Amino acid sequence: MKKNLTPKVYLRDGNDELVFYWKQYFHAFDVDIAQSNILELEADAIVSPANSFGFMDGGIDLQYKNKFGPKVEWLVQKNIELHYYGELAVGQALSVPLVNQPFDYLIVAPTMRIPMVVNSTINPYLAFRAALLQSKHLGLKSIACPGLGTGTGKACPEMAARQMFVAYANVVLQRSPVKAEDLAKQMGWMLRCSQDKKV
């Protein structure tokens, strides 16, 4: 059986610090990065850094709802209810179709259970990994993704960029430690944030 190819990844965000770290970690790979409005892009799918219950009343999800129409929130919540017993856990992702939009799908990949701070968690990694896997499942050619956990979740931009890179390496490059001690070291590296040292 032919393996689904991983789509071209476009990373877009207005946070200059996050974009700086994205460029630092992804510089050697075919990832398109820019500090701009993700909704001005065209791609097969756009990622929603959602919550587990599909509420789209804040942050970038509210921008998505304003752009795609209020029905998108109902569609997301209905799919969560029907296929995930009412709760889409962090580390899972689903997709819903978009009609007459620059994107064919909205990929919902929760970064938090409910709106909350997710700094010092691996939620950005889990969310991006789930989004990439969902895009492969759909056979997409391109995917647009904003910062994950860096808005409402207040995740350290450096930490979030690093975790998104590890997810990319895991899914796209198929590189992942296999020894427990190496996984533990990777976990510590994923959670590091140099800004934490600032007073």
pLDDT tens digits, 94-134: 999 999 999 999 999 999 999 999 999 999 999 999 999 99
Give residue 184's Cα distance to chain centre: 23
Please give the domain boundaries of the chain with CATH numbers for all domains: 8-197 (3.40.220.10)
pTM for this predicted structure:
0.94
- DSSP assignment of 162-180: HHHHHHHHHHTS-----SH
Task: Tell me the pLDDT of the chain averaged across its residues.
Answer: 94
Contact 33, 59 (CB under 8 A): no
pLDDT of residue 4: 62
- What average pLDDT does the segment 162-178 reach? 93
pLDDT above 80 for 1: no
pLDDT tens digits, 76-93: 999 999 999 999 999 999
Contact 78, 100 (CB under 8 A): no
* C-alpha span between 71 and 117 (Å, rounded): 27
Half-sphere exposure of 87 (CA within 13 A, CB side): 5
